[in-house]
Structure 1
């Protein structure tokens, strides 16, 4: 950390007893799982619907599993929540007969909108069919979606108060432009020879190549392109910062961002090493998936093109096992591109 009055102003944190996050630059997190659990119980137990068939209401929350947190980065709030819940409902027909059933919601998360929630309503096995089931499936489902949407709204509007602190008037992005002398350039380094090199491959057609282990496998190449609503330096940092990688993968990671430095992420499913880094412009790495033949790596090149208020990312993959081409493409789109956009709002 820079000393007071020295270095990039974005990273200057005044020595103060309350440990205030000056300029909101550093990543701060608040665990709101306890509050969320209590609030979800309250909202769900308030669900009651009426119709010509009778009345239905939720009487008990049998299962509520998950977690929720609020994160602040550079004055922006990011909300992570994922819940699975099951509740019991009691229906009373217009003639006074009582029926019991269950409600299940398995996808209450920051990835789904209120209308996309999968609400499953059913009668208990020992209950005869009743028009109250249709009442719960139609009107009850709408009410359940409404209160779950209310939880999300309160999480983002009320409970997040105090996460963004007043700044001292310094705009991080502007200060970054005014402090180019503090920018550290990562110079190219020779390709590390401590690990087997990537199997060669033809960039147009699959070829059968011999891996360091002596196993011959057909490999292929492909290109991917994605646009992010952020600057090139911010996107570059997202890929090479261990802190950022752990946030968007939501799992422990090890990232040593230097030529020859290793990385492990997604619970060890992905690993490799960096071979060439050009700050804010290019990242090259030897990259492999856990299920690939031992010691076989693909060559991955990430080229970042600054396009004003957005950044175009081009990914070139060479040496990917042919049988894993589709899953590797999908993995990059889902666990890198989509995860980064959903997490950081890019």
Structure 2
């Protein structure tokens, strides 16, 4: 048997106290198919674009066929994925006329660059021609390409946690590779090909901070209560929700796609919470601070967001505007003056 400091290092079990997959030498594989299917549906469903002609939205993801897996060999991560996707988009013109069509992506694969992805957008045969079809073929297709790029990024960060094991000095040596000719920057992967990370700190990702302001035609106490009352949250999200409206209380809404914890509550004035989308890297939360300011006949809500993943900034802003601000105004009538 080799002595400490001599011989082939793959056999020196002292490198890890538990002698598990020493030096990450042995081949390990993780099936990412089920996780990928859920992630792809989540990233695509609800994507929307608009222009002066109207708006379009992905309303159904009807087909997600394929497989994905990650292999670790000698500290190198090798990614395999191949998917065929089909979705339905719905458009509505400024005149209120609705249209439907399909989206097909037959070749989402580690063998293809993201820019070479085939994204076919068509209008259903029984539908009349509309400029919204061109909107989906241009801006819509680009948003879909970005979402699929995000999927590859999450596959290479969020899903790989724990596959590269730390050594005795508390450092995991990570070398990421792929069978694809696509480069990581094209797929919006934030980690580099060779990095080091402390034990149990998860994946370090670049984050950003931003602020939003919105006015509501109601009082600070009434608006404050909307965010903490379970029945009211269920009303404006139009779905079951779990809300524990107290400090340290947990919340989960939008079918589990958003969840977190209230960390500070100042009645009628401020709410601070840990907040995240369910597809963010494991255990990564943004800090959301909501401040309620009385402006006489209305309330100004200031939302400060810190720790949002860089590549999730626009999606997070759009999500708050659509699923919080606009939904609350439409549900409770806080957006229109009545004379």
Structure (1 or 2) with the larger CA radius of gyration: 1
TM class, shorter-length: 0.3 to 0.5
State the TM-score, normalizing by the size of structure 1.
0.45
State the TM-score, normalizing by the size of structure 2.
0.46
